[in-house]
Structure 1
Amino acid sequence: MKYAFSTLGLPGSSIAEAAALAAEHGFDGVELRAHAEEPLHPGTPNADRAAAVRTFAAAGVAVLAVAGYAKVAAAGDDDHVVAELLSLIVLAADLGAPFVRVFPGGGRLPEPEADTHAVRRLTAAAPFAERHGVRILLETHDSHRTGAAAGRVLDRVGHPAVGALWDVLHTWLAGEQPDASRRALAAHLGYVQVKDVASATELTPIGLGDGVVPLAEAVAGTPADGWLCWEYEKRWHPDAAELPGRLARGRAHLARLAAAPGGRAAGRPPAAR
């Protein structure tokens, strides 16, 4: 098993700081939040991209993914969405990242319409991603927060350059059991994003293993050579404890779960909402 964390947990930090923290605490990689607030995003100059590659290489840390904000199921024309996808793919390729994260973002659109938007746009971008050695991952989030919903779209796309990012919190909040999520996403899975919270209504991030998210069951379904990425949402919860102080314990907890999958009893999912 390989381990990463998201730079969403390190708002305002530099690439050098993220790489050093990963190396110091035994993480194999980082998921880079690709937003204009951050050092790396689609508008970042080529020289800065190359410098980031050197920084990560020197630290022995991989760039797991570029976490973009394209919304593939959203209303509107395709051109803007597909252009955003292509720019994220180029960024990932420049950084040596195998994955690009995208959101559904279907909002209040009827399910068939949102699905069709997502299928069309992902299908349009897939050959470009394949040529660049990058895989686009649709996260279980917002309008498609269950494995069943994301899998429904991905089954229709049917392209090896398009897959799934399993955000365990969102499938659990939607009331989907981890084994059901795993079955729905098994043919498409890129990697698993883990996090922990105190309850279904208190979503401030806490240390892994300190809350109620069924992490053991999710880890049990992750391939032995797969990636687990800790998304600690400090950017959205500024009062949460600082991530660096929690990295060592979080890494150790994931390693224990990976060594003995399913060893910890976890709560039932909340009612779908």
Structure 2
Amino acid sequence: MKFAFSTLGVPGLPIPEVVALANRTGYQGVELRAHPEEPVHPGIDERERAAVVEEFKRGGVEILTVAGYARVAAEGGDEDRLSQELDELIRLASDLGASYIRVFPGGGDQDPEAADATAARRLGAAAPLAAEAGVRILLETHDSHRTGADAMRVLGLVGHPQVGALWDVMHTWLGGERPVTSHASLSPHLGYVQVKDIASAQDTTPLALGAGVLPLGECVGLFAGDGDDGWLCWEYEKRWYPAAADLPDLLIPGREHLEALLARGH
């Protein structure tokens, strides 16, 4: 497996420093949070995009994902605006050479069948552009669709290879789904895995990997022996928990912890 971290853990950090941090700590890739308060988002121009590509190329670090905030199962809203948001994320990822874009379900409290159909319709409509751009759209296990079973209801309706799943191990655990069950559901469509750790279901403040309650050994062990074919990405939610410990000093021990879990295979 290869290792990445999300820039959600280092909010606002300039791109040269992000690349230097990945190199210094032994991470091969970065998940870029695509938000206007960050250095990289759909509003940056061609020159800025080229500069980002050059910085990552110079550092030998891969841009794994453009992590967007489109909510594909959201009820109502401006259909044209949502379509444009997906298109902009796909084009940004293509320009940057990223493999994926991340989207959320965002179905809220509406009827699950209606939310599934809405998400599938929107994802299916965006899939041809994603295929043309060489980018996969990944639906994260999150909010209204937090388990693998939830995500698979949508992906089964879409049925397009350019639309897959992003497994956030915290949300499937919070949804009461065992890692082996999540893996069985998601693996045919899986882009990669987001790892993290928290104190409890009631306190989701980010912790160092291995310091909390999430079943990381069970999750990561499912990928033992996969070689370099997959990615584990540490999503440390410092942006939402400013009092949490700073991520940079945790990155090396975090990577070493994941390596040990892979070596043990459980």
TM-score of the superposed pair, with normalisation by structure 1: 0.94
Q: Aligned partners of 1:162, 1:214: CA distance in 2, in Å?
A: 27
Counting only pairs closer than 5 Å after superposition, residues 183-222 of structure 1 correspond to structure 2 as 183-222=184-223
User: How far did residue 78 of structure 1 move?
Assistant: 2.4
TM-aligned CA deviation for residue 172 of structure 1: 0.2
Alpha-carbon separation, structure 2, partners of 1:259 and 1:89? 35
Alignment of structure 1 residues 47-58 onto 2, 5 Å: 47-58=47-58
> Matched residue of 1:137: which SS?
strand
Q: Which residue does 1:79 correspond to in 2?
A: 80
Q: Secondary structure at the match of 1:107?
A: coil
Aligned partner of residue 150 in structure 2, secondary structure: helix
Shift of 1:111: 0.3
After TM superposition, give the deviation of residue 101 of structure 1 in Å.
0.3
The answer to whether 1:13 aligns with 2:17 is: no
Partner of 1:252: 256
Task: Give the counterpart letter for 1:18 in structure 2.
Answer: V
Specify every segment of 5 or more residues in structure 2 that has no aligned partner in the other structure, as ranges. none
What does the per-residue CA deviation read over 1:218-256, in whole Å, with 9 as the maximum and x for residues that have no partner? 112234310000000000000000000101100111111
Q: Distance in 2 between matches of 1:188 and 1:109?
A: 25
Match of residue 233 from structure 2: 229
SS in 1 for 2:182: helix
Correspondence for 2:135 = 134
What is the correspondence of 1:96-135 to structure 2 with a 5 Å cutoff? 96-135=97-136
Indicate the residue corresponding to 1:32 in structure 2.
Answer: 32
SS at match of 1:186: helix
Structure 1 CA distance, aligned partners of 2:209 and 2:135? 29
Structure 1: state its 5+ residue gaps: 263-273
Give the Cα–Cα distance (whole angstroms) in 2 for the partners of residues 161 and 65 of structure 1: 14
Distance, in Å, in 2 between the alignment partners of 1:51 and 1:233 is 26
Q: Runs in 1 of length 4+ with deviation above 6 angstroms?
A: none
Name 1:45's counterpart in structure 2. Answer: 45
Aligned to 2:244: 240
Structure 1 Cα separation of the partners of residues 65 and 137 of structure 2: 10
SS in 1 for 2:30: strand
Q: How far apart in 2 are the matches of 1:58 and 1:104?
A: 35
* In 1, Cα distance between equivalents of 2:120 and 2:73: 8
Structure 2 CA distance for aligned equivalents of residues 109 and 49 of structure 1: 38
Measured in 1, the distance between the counterparts of 2:237 and 2:248 equals 13
Matching residue's letter, 2:44: T
Aligned letter for 2:10? L
Following superposition, the deviation at residue 158 of structure 1 comes to 0.8
Q: Distance in 2 between matches of 1:115 and 1:127?
A: 19
SS of residue in 1 equivalent to 2:240: coil
Deviation at 1:58, TM superposition (A): 0.9
Say what the alpha-carbon RMSD is for the aligned residues: 0.8
CA–CA separation in structure 2 for the residues paired with 1:65 and 1:247 = 19
Partner of 2:168: 167
Query: In 2, distance between residues paired with 1:38 and 1:215?
Result: 29
Q: What percent identity do the matched residue pairs reach?
A: 62
What amino acid does structure 2 have at the position aligned with 1:230? W
Q: Which whole-Å CA distance do the structure 1 matches of 2:186 and 2:12 have between them? A: 33
Letter in 2 for 1:102: V
Instruction: Work out whether residues 117 and 157 of structure 2, in 8 Å CA contact, stay in contact via their aligned partners in 1.
Output: no
Determine the C-alpha separation between the residues in 1 that align with 2:117 and 2:201: 30
Deviates more, 1:57-66 or 1:71-80: 71-80
